Homo-oligomer: A and B are copies of this chain.
Amino acid sequence: MEFEVTILGNSSANPSYGRHLSAQFIHHGNDYFLVDCGEGTQMQLNAFELKKSRINQIFISHLHGDHFFGLIGLINTFSLLKRTQILQIFCHEALQIILETQLKHTGAILSFPIEYHFLPNEHQTIFETKHLTVEAFPLSHRIACCGFIFKEKIGERKIIKSQVDKYNVPIAQLKDLQQGKDFAKPNGEIIANELLTSAPLPPKSYAYVSDTCYLASIIPIIQQANCLYHEATFKNEDAQRATDTFHCTASQAATIAKLANVKKLLLGHFSAKYKTEQLDELLIQAKEIFAESYLSAEGLTFNIE
């Protein structure tokens, strides 16, 4: 099943050197999610020709403006495009107040309903589809903030066509085989599932961690994720600034990636003070600790694999 994340913005605090504010577009099978929605997110969705109208769930990590000021504009545009599908927003409570204040005073009557789901204070599953769960977990920032992990469910076992032909398994029973059941022949003989099917692909996961100071408590939660996006707001030289503002350095992000034994680390949420060419220094610092580190350049789509 397709599972990919497209970076829409990776700038911290304010847009800078052409970089946009935090937002990511996640595509899993037939589902499309948005994680954070900084100002200009709808322009970025347009620019990269992503299917914004298919987004049904939006996850907002916290209520600093660089992570949600684009949401009201996107909602407005959805309504102008005559969306009717419910939009589910997973966020902290005050976001409902903020959005409703704006809708009220702009005289907006939306063409679709919004369903708010408030984020928990502890690690919890907050949403699921047939094929995926989304868990929220607390981070440590200056205000309440959550990370998210998108985890595929264990898939169905795969039918081995030559074997089901050999044992004359009726089509009506294939579903049971996919669920792991054995096959009983008409004469009562039992054929073990393992003879007829192969194991499903291992489930994949994607973790989003922004904004936070170095936080060891997330390591078991994101353990062995196929891909981790972790904020790396500052270079190691600016470690004191990172501490003061509850952010991380590139090395801290890489240390979390290493201890959690993830497959790949995407660095992002770069301080607005760094020019684009300076971001390579963050990458070098991360790679010294965790080789599979990458810069999350805007417009790039990463396959979760």
Binding site for B on A (CB under 8 A): 13-16, 18, 20-21, 39-40, 42-43, 46-47, 63-66, 69-70, 72-73, 76-77, 80-81, 94-95, 97-98, 101-102, 105-108, 142-143, 272
Chain B residue contacts of A72, Cβ below 8 A: 65, 69
- Indicate which residue in B42, B65, B70 contacts A14 across the interface (CB closer than 8 Å): B42
Q: How many subunits of this chain does the assembly comprise?
A: 2
- Indicate which residue in B40, B46, B80, B142 contacts A43 across the interface (CB closer than 8 Å): B40
CB closest chain-B residue, reference A76: B65
Chain B residue contacts of A94, Cβ below 8 A: 105
6 A-B residue pairings within 8 Å (CB atoms): A15-B46, A20-B43, A40-B40, A64-B107, A69-B102, A98-B102
- Separation in Å of the A149 CB from the closest CB of chain B? 25
Q: Is the CB of B107 within 8 A of A98?
A: no
Pick the most buried of A65, A94, A98: most chain B CB atoms within 10 A of its CB: A65
Given A13-B80, A20-B43, A65-B73, list of 13 further CB < 8 A pairs? A13-B77, A14-B77, A21-B73, A65-B102, A66-B76, A69-B72, A69-B73, A69-B102, A94-B105, A97-B105, A98-B105, A106-B143, A107-B143
Q: Is the CB of B63 within 8 A of A105?
A: yes
- Indicate which residue in B13, B18, B39, B76 contacts A70 across the interface (CB closer than 8 Å): B39
A70→B40 CA distance, assembly (Å): 9
Known contacts: A40-B39, A43-B40, A72-B65. The answer to whether A97 contacts B108 by CB under 8 A is no
- Indicate which residue in B40, B47, B101, B107 contacts A142 across the interface (CB closer than 8 Å): B107
Pick the most buried of A16, A40, A143: most chain B CB atoms within 10 A of its CB: A40
- Separation in Å of the A177 CB from the closest CB of chain B? 49
Chain B residue contacts of A108, Cβ below 8 A: 65
A97→B87 CA distance, assembly (Å): 25
CB closest chain-B residue, reference A12: B80
- Separation in Å of the A190 CB from the closest CB of chain B? 61
Q: Is the CB of B69 within 8 A of A76?
A: yes
- Separation in Å of the A198 CB from the closest CB of chain B? 48
CB closest chain-B residue, reference A94: B105
List 10 tightest A-B contacts by C-beta distance, closest first: A94-B105, A39-B73, A14-B77, A101-B101, A65-B76, A69-B73, A40-B40, A15-B43, A63-B106, A14-B80
CB closest chain-B residue, reference A41: B39
Q: Is the CB of B107 within 8 A of A97?
A: no
A46→B19 CA distance, assembly (Å): 11
